[in-house]
Amino acid sequence: MPNVNLTDSRSRDAVVKAEPTGVDEEVRYVDDEKKSAYTRKVLKATVEHDYETLVKQHEGDAEALGKALVESDPEVDMEICGLYLWGVSKVYVDSSDGIVYRIEQEEIVRGPDGSVREKRPRNQPEANVDSEIPLTWTGRKFNKDEAVRRFVFASKLQIVHINGLTYDFLYGMAKELSEANVLMMVGGGSKGRDPLVFRRGSVPYRGFLEGRVDGDKYLLLLHLSNLELKVPSDTRKADKDEKSRDEKASTKKQAAAKAPVKTKKAEAEKTSEAPDEVAAKKSEPEKKKPEKTKPEKKAAAEVTAKESSKNLSKTKEGKPDKADNKETEDARDSSSETAKAKNVKAESASGITSEDLGIWLKSIRMGKYLKLFIEHEIDVDVIAELTDDDLKELDIPLGSRRRLLKAVEETDNLHAEVAHAVKQMTGSKEAAKQKK
């Protein structure tokens, strides 16, 4: 099995071995006499003695060939038929049974319904697991339950040490992963984004490390996957709506539990008057306010008219009264709180909001695709993993696909790049305000 150049979480690297996990059992087949039995390949016929060649030799007359088969054995070469075959190799032949020394292979890309979407020459990447650039410890960790539901694991290899130094190296990795109970993705290339290729032209895989520790013993497994399961967008939306409803119901229950409960006893404690005094007050007749005379009513009406005219003139001059100011401030506070709530809802797990993402997309001339990304629930974390095929599914043109992939490839930290774009945009706006 191949060597693997691997990096740990502290950026230390070492060359170790990858071995198959299966246990070879020595099985020996014997016959009735307890003698070893084995399989042999026996040559039956050659191309010169197959049916089509024999028909041609008899000028296409099948009846003539039948008579020849009855009278003799034209389909058998007595010198070579029945020989044992050892150490044979596979060869490719063309339609005329000639040996083909060079073949061209095609990759067929199929859609979810099985239809052929694209045919292209097969890519034969170079091996990268034992190159000068070690496989990167990406730090992207997946819960084991989540990983087995998201990725289809085709096979696995056991990573083993070759000396005492590499034992300590691998034991530390296995212990770190075991304590976190996660699978950690490893990748090839300088940025750790390339799949793992064990030999030239072989199937590329995504690698996931799993560690287990028992005393001074360790087990480090490299799980390989070339297929990822994706939930349909309609199902994701329904799950998201259901989760949102559950969160709202839970919030309401918590708020109701925290709210103080008013009782009759508490209301009675609030009043300092004795029950007899309260009863006496209720029994007393209410004192009527003295009614105003007609001249007093007329004077009060004139004062009210003057105040209303003053307020009206202030409003026309653009100077609202204190009550209007208070209502305006309340409305402004309410709108700002609503905006904050929307911003929190749009915020991703990494703290990058959809508005921030839109600013970064505008900086690379792809702002018009923000709505498309939001509809498909594509945030900053997902953008870092998008491939050309993923962008094709979104019907994004070739030029825009190349621009986005290049921008992601040229940055080591996409979150920091988005934050930098937001900071630049905010700074330019403040500078424009100061100039005004």
131 assigned to some structural domain: yes
Q: Note whether 13 and 144 are same-domain residues.
A: yes
Amino acid 58: pLDDT? 87
150 assigned to some structural domain: yes
Distances (CA, A) of 240 to 64, 90, 146, 245, 377: 76, 53, 17, 9, 10
13 assigned to some structural domain: yes
Rounded-to-integer distance, Cα 115 and Cα 406, Å: 30
- Output phi, psi for 17, to 5 deg: -110, 150
Rounded-to-integer distance, Cα 293 and Cα 315, Å: 33
Ranges of beta strands (E only) in 161-234 are 182-187, 206-214, 217-228
Lookup: tokens for 220? 């480090």
314 assigned to some structural domain: no
The overall longest dimension of the chain from CA atoms, in Å, is 147
Rounded-to-integer distance, Cα 328 and Cα 189, Å: 58
pTM recorded for the entire structure: 0.44
- Output phi, psi for 40, to 5 deg: -125, 145
Q: Over the range 221-230, which residues count as b (16 or more CB within 10 Å of their CB) and which as e? A: bbbbbeeeee
296 assigned to some structural domain: no
Does an H or E element contain 180, and which?
helix 164-180
Burial-class residue 211 by CB neighbours within 10 Å (0-12, 13-18, 19+). Answer: buried
Number of structural domains the chain divides into: 2
403 assigned to some structural domain: yes
98 assigned to some structural domain: no
Amino acid occupying residue 127: A
Domain boundary among 228, 247, 279: 228
Q: Note whether 15 and 147 are same-domain residues.
A: yes
Question: In angstroms, how far is CA 229 from the centroid of its own chain?
Answer: 10
Q: Are 14 and 165 in contact (CB under 8 A)?
A: yes
H helical segments located in 80-163 = 144-150
343 assigned to some structural domain: no
Does an H or E element contain 236, and which?
helix 233-258
Pairing of strands 206-214, 182-187: antiparallel
H helical segments located in 317-379 = 322-346, 354-363, 370-375
Lookup: tokens for 382? 């997902």
Instruction: Look up the CATH number of the domain holding residue 401.
Output: 1.10.150.50
- Domain hosting 391: range is 350-435
Determine how many CB atoms are found less than 10 A away from the CB of residue 71: 8
Amino acid 343: pLDDT? 42
Rounded-to-integer distance, Cα 270 and Cα 280, Å: 19
Instruction: Look up the CATH number of the domain holding residue 196.
Output: 2.40.290
Write out the chain's pLDDT in tens, 436 residues.
Answer: 689 999 998 889 999 999 988 767 778 888 888 888 888 889 888 888 888 888 888 888 989 989 998 988 888 888 888 888 888 888 888 888 788 888 888 888 888 788 998 998 888 888 999 888 999 998 899 999 989 989 999 999 999 999 989 999 999 999 999 999 999 999 998 888 899 999 888 889 999 999 999 999 999 999 999 888 876 666 656 666 777 777 777 777 777 666 555 444 444 444 444 445 444 444 444 444 445 554 555 555 554 445 544 444 444 444 444 444 444 455 454 444 444 434 433 344 456 788 888 888 888 888 888 888 888 888 888 888 888 888 888 889 888 888 888 888 888 778 888 888 888 777 666 666 665 5
Domain boundary among 199, 228, 257: 228
Domain boundary among 161, 195, 228: 228
Amino acid 429: pLDDT? 63
Amino acid occupying residue 230: K
